[in-house]
A and B are shown apart, each in its own frame.
Chain A
Amino acid sequence: EIVLTQSPGTLSLSPGERATLSCRASQSVINSYVAWYQQKPGQAPRLLIYGASSRATGIPDRFSGSGSGADFTLTISRLEPEDFAVYYCQQYGRSPATFGPGTKVDIK
């Protein structure tokens, strides 16, 4: 199965700053089938990005995704207070679908 590694484990930033989260796959992900999810404490995950760079319905444009092959990035251009959460990447190009361990974005 494809193993996803996310870095950093924790990102401490202030509101208004830019956040850059990395997701690296153990092999190339077919068709860049990578998604990003946001999860807040006690809540279900929420889809942010699919196909590496397409925003899901209702997701603000401060969230953007990029990458191809085995390296993918989620960027939050200017952090809002509600953006402090855990972010997971997922690949769905090869069965079984797998998730990364997550990056926690917390307030500095």
Chain B
Amino acid sequence: EAQLLESGGGLVQPGGSLRLSCATSGFRFSTYAMSWVRQAPGKGLEWVSGIGPSPTNTYYADSVKGRFTISRDNSKNTLYVQMDSLRADDTAVYYCARGSGASPFDGWGQGTLVTVSS
């Protein structure tokens, strides 16, 4: 069974940076596209960024393009997202999900909360 575990969330000031990690196990990580999906408090789901099985193919929602950078280390079975120039509207629970924006998300982590506030 696929297991995904996010870490790295917390409180950060507007304009600050944060790096989230997602450690995975139970499946062949290197063969799957992966994504980050976020959910603002009390709101719905928003796909943020995706990466193909190869680290060279990356995709971003317009809302984060130029500020977030997704990456992966297939030797460590780990997904990352570097979040820079954070804004208050980036406040959300960030989920790591197995799948890309071109496939369903068939595995999810428990989420990590990012709060952007002064």
Instruction: Say how far A28's CB is from chain B's closest CB, in angstroms.
Output: 16
Against B, the Cβ 8 Å flags (1 = close, 0 = not) of A72-96 are 0000000000000000101010011
Number of A-B residue pairs having CB atoms within 8 Å of each other in the complex? 55
Against B, the Cβ 8 Å flags (1 = close, 0 = not) of A10-47 are 00000000000000000000000101010000011111
- The yes or no answer to A7 lying at the interface (CB within 8 A) is no
- The yes or no answer to B101 lying at the interface (CB within 8 A) is yes
- The yes or no answer to B57 lying at the interface (CB within 8 A) is no
A101-B101 Cα distance, complex, nearest whole Å: 17
Instruction: Say how far B73's CB is from chain A's closest CB, in angstroms.
Output: 23
CB closest chain-B residue, reference A1 = B62
A47 & B104 in contact (Cβ 8 Å cutoff): yes
The verdict on A95 contacting B44 (CB below 8 Å), with A44-B108, A44-B109, A45-B108 known, is no
A35 & B47 in contact (Cβ 8 Å cutoff): no
A35 contact set on B, CB distance < 8 A: 104-105
A102 contact set on B, CB distance < 8 A: 44
A51 contact set on B, CB distance < 8 A: 104
CB closest chain-B residue, reference A99 = B45
Q: Which among A46, A97, A100 has the greatest number of chain B C-beta atoms within 10 A? A: A97
A90 & B104 in contact (Cβ 8 Å cutoff): yes
CB closest chain-A residue, reference B46 = A99
CB closest chain-A residue, reference B43 = A101
B106 contact set on A, CB distance < 8 A: 47, 50, 56-57
The 8 closest A-B pairs by CB, nearest first: A97-B101, A44-B108, A50-B104, A35-B104, A99-B45, A97-B47, A47-B106, A101-B44
Measuring CB to CB, which residues of chain A are less than 8 angstroms from any residue of chain B?
A: 33, 35, 37, 43-47, 50-51, 56-57, 88, 90, 92, 95-102
